[in-house]
């Protein structure tokens, strides 16, 4: 066989091998890019975990604040009841002095039991509003509401009562009394010295109003 024939046969075999070879594959992404993507995902997951953990801590803090304020609100109810007893005792003392004076001196008209109740109610209206206000706040704090949500009716009514009680306080803070003393109606004691101390005739600032402001600020955030 000639040299030229062997060369042609070798060229054909090389051509056949080239035709049967596999097509080139696409290049895979660099290892550095893959590691950067994985690292970015991990950082994102860590950031989301911190956000969720902070939210859970805020929810726990809000729940603790609400429980603490609820316990305080029950104390505020008792303090409001105590505040109402002072003006009530002063009024009943004035009625008793008035009736004793009328019975002894025969001047004027004795105050009947229904009239006495009416005068006690008028004289202690400011303090009784405080009892209702503190009770509404306690009811509101016992409800499960989101942070900063002040739409429930107990809170809305309590807020209206705040303005009403503050107005009553400034109108009546130095006119505690009945039977001609204070605003409790006419009586025979206008010029008669009372056994009640003058300090007892000064109304205390309603504690329920102060607690309403504290609870609002604490639950706002």
Task: Report the C-alpha gap between 103 and 117 in whole angstroms.
Answer: 20
| pLDDT score of 194 | 59
Given a contact cutoff of 8 angstroms between Cβ atoms, the answer to whether 128 and 63 are in contact is: no
Q: What is the DSSP letter of 55?
A: H
Regions of the chain where pLDDT drops below 70 = 1-33, 54-56, 58-60, 107, 180-200, 221
pLDDT on residue 135: 96
How many helices (H) and strands (E) the chain has is answered by: 6, 0
What ranges in 106-199 are assigned the alpha helix state H? 113-123, 125-141, 153-172
Structure confidence at residue 188 (pLDDT): 47
Distance CA 44, CA 81 (A): 55
Structure tokens at 48: 């989301």
User: pTM value?
Assistant: 0.69
- Give residue 6's pLDDT: 53
Q: Which residue is it, tokens 């109610």?
A: 121
pLDDT at res. 184: 46
Give CA torsion, residues 4, 7, 13, 15, to 10 deg: -100
pLDDT at 63: 76
Residue 35: the pLDDT is 74
Write down the mean pLDDT value for the chain.
78
Q: Count the alpha carbons within 13 Å of 180 in the hemisphere toward its beta carbon.
A: 19
* CA–CA distance, 209 with 165 (Å, rounded to integer): 8
Cα separation, 8 vs 28, whole angstroms: 39
pLDDT in tens, 89-143: 888 888 888 888 888 877 678 888 899 899 899 889 999 999 999 999 999 999 8
């Amino acid at each position: 066989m000639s040299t030229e024939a062997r060369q042609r046969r070798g060229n054909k075999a090389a051509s056949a091998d080239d035709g049967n070879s596999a097509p080139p594959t696409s290049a895979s992404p660099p290892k550095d890019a893959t590691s950067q993507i994985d690292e970015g995902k991990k950082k994102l997951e860590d950031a989301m975990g911190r956000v969720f953990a902070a939210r859970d801590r805020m929810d726990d803090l809000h729940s603790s604040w609400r429980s603490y304020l609820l316990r305080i609100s029950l104390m505020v109810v008792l303090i409001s009841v105590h505040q109402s007893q002072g003006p009530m005792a002063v009024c009943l003392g004035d009625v008793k002095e008035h009736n004793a004076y009328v019975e002894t001196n025969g001047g004027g008209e004795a105050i009947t039991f229904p009239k006495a109740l009416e005068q006690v109610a008028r004289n202690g209206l400011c303090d009784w509003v405080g009892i209702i206000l503190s009770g509404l706040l306690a009811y509101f704090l016992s409800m499960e509401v989101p942070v900063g949500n002040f739409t429930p009716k107990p809170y809305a009514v309590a807020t209206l009562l705040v303005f009403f009680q503050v107005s009553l306080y400034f109108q009546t803070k130095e006119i505690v009394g009945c039977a001609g003393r204070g605003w409790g109606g006419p009586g025979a004691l206008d010029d008669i010295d009372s056994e009640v101390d003058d300090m007892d005739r000064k109304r205390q600032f309603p504690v329920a109003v102060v607690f309403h402001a504290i609870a609002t600020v604490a639950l706002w955030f």
